[in-house]
Amino acid sequence: MQALSVPHSLINFTGSDFLIYDLNHLKGEFKKANINFLENEPMHRHTSFKIGGAADVFVNIGSKEEFTRVFSLCKEENVPVTILGKGSNLLVSDKGIEGVVLCLENLNKMTVSGERITVGAGANLAALCTFAANEGLSGLEFAFGIPGSVGGAVFMNAGAYGGEMKDVLESVTAVNSGGEIFTLFRDELCLSYRSSAFQKNGATVIEAVFKLKKGNTEEIKASMTEIMKRRKDKQPLEFPSAGSTFKRPEGYFAGTLIEQCGLKGFSVGGAQVSVKHAGFVINKGGATANDVLCLIKKVQETVSRKTGVTLEPEVIFIGRE
């Protein structure tokens, strides 16, 4: 296999060339404030791709109050912050992530009131779907099987099988970079295909309210089971991946274009265009972020040359250059 260079233009670096900060001082502040943290935490443990170098500092946030405290300390110390959901749409650099990674998975409380469910951003989306079904609330069936957290699903306006977060979200509470808490209602969330206001405003989703409809638990669960079966039949769920690698280009399906270009099964190192579904890049074993980036570049170039269609990654690239 010919060596391919890493396409740096693909990477959305979270690093901060212009920030000057003292990470050891921040760690001291964390210790004083009794905030538990991990150092040099390998990110392959926290991504569905099972790829990624170490985060300098990793904090598993325990409560909304702890989030505000940790976030403010990072801001005061000028340390870059990366928000992690379940890592199911991320490709993390082999060189890791600079600064502090905040994992929100413990912010997972769910409460129901009539047809509304209020849920913490770190909650598992599948757990939310099951909770809604058990409460006899319909509307989230489409989301069953999308891996990830509620916060990540809001950020991405995640969707499948004809539904998207936009259809069921009523409001979202978030914290902006100044540490202020605010709430946005559905029309203010700028939800469109795999896009939301949070991709521009840089705020962190803390909680979401879903407005659902009364339904029958058995019928809702049957629909969820059917959707999961369709996923298992079509998607290479037996391999680590970050789901669909590319967004759906207008008027086409990325997987079909990639297959038509003869790229099904094409590999770079441990990364491969799935044989089962060409829209997925999978980690066959031992893939590096560099392998995945090179494969993505190769697919983009080939599809563009042969069909004239530009494929835009849906997977988000983060970490050091």
Ligand X SMILES: Cc1cc2nc3c(=O)[nH]c(=O)nc-3n(C[C@H](O)[C@H](O)[C@H](O)COP(=O)(O)OP(=O)(O)OC[C@H]3O[C@@H](n4cnc5c(N)ncnc54)[C@H](O)[C@@H]3O)c2cc1C
- Picking from 214, 216, 210, the residue whose alpha carbon sits closest to that of residue 117 is 210
Site string for ligand X, 224-243 (x = CB under 6 A): -----------x-x---xxx
Q: Which residue in 64, 86, 277, 298 binds ligand X (CB under 6 A)?
A: 86
Residue 205 touches ligand X, criterion: CB under 6 A: yes
Residue 175 touches ligand X, criterion: CB under 6 A: no
Find the helix packing angle between 217-234 and 125-134, rounded to 10°: 150
Q: Are 249 and 311 in contact (CB under 8 A)?
A: yes
Question: How many CB atoms within 10 Å of residue 185?
Answer: 11
Minimum Å gap between C-beta 273 and ligand X is 15
97-103 and 81-84 strand pairing = parallel
Which member of 135, 194, 196, 241 is catalytic? Answer: 194
Q: Are 217 and 136 in contact (CB under 8 A)?
A: yes
Which range binds ligand X by CB under 6 A, 16-24, 65-73, 153-161, 303-311?
153-161
Which member of 41, 141, 164, 314 is catalytic? Answer: 314
Q: Which residue in 152, 215, 279, 313 binds ligand X (CB under 6 A)?
A: 152
Residue 90 touches ligand X, criterion: CB under 6 A: yes
CA 307/CA 311 separation, integer angstroms: 11
Residue 272 touches ligand X, criterion: CB under 6 A: no
Judged by CB under 6 A, the number of residues near ligand X is 32
Residue 69 annotated in active site: no
**Chain center to CA of 268:** 23
Residue 92 touches ligand X, criterion: CB under 6 A: no
Residue 312 annotated in active site: no
Strand stretches in the chain, DSSP E: 38-42, 54-60, 81-84, 90-92, 97-103, 110-113, 116-120, 137-138, 159-160, 163-164, 169-175, 181-185, 204-211, 213-214, 241-244, 267-268, 271-273, 280-283, 316-318
> Closer CB to ligand X, residue 88 or residue 300?
88
Residue 92, Cβ density class (10 Å: 0-12 exposed, 13-18 middle, ≥19 buried):
buried
> Closer CB to ligand X, residue 147 or residue 255?
147
Q: Which residue in 52, 151, 215, 279 binds ligand X (CB under 6 A)?
A: 151
> Closer CB to ligand X, residue 138 or residue 235?
235
Residue 149 touches ligand X, criterion: CB under 6 A: yes
Residue 132 touches ligand X, criterion: CB under 6 A: no
> Closer CB to ligand X, residue 136 or residue 253?
253
Residue showing tokens 């659902």: 212
Q: Residues 11 to 50: which contact ligand X by CB under 6 A?
A: 48
Residue 120 touches ligand X, criterion: CB under 6 A: no
Residue 84 touches ligand X, criterion: CB under 6 A: yes
Residue 155 touches ligand X, criterion: CB under 6 A: yes
Rounded to whole angstroms, the maximal C-alpha distance in the chain is: 59
Alpha carbon distances (Å) from 7 to 4, 39, 40: 9, 29, 25
Residue 45 annotated in active site: no
**SS3 of 138-153:** ECCHHHCCCCCEHHHH
What residues are labeled active site?
194, 244, 314
Residues that bind ligand X (CB under 6 A): 48, 83-90, 104, 121, 146-149, 151-153, 155-156, 158-160, 198, 204-205, 235, 237, 241-243, 316
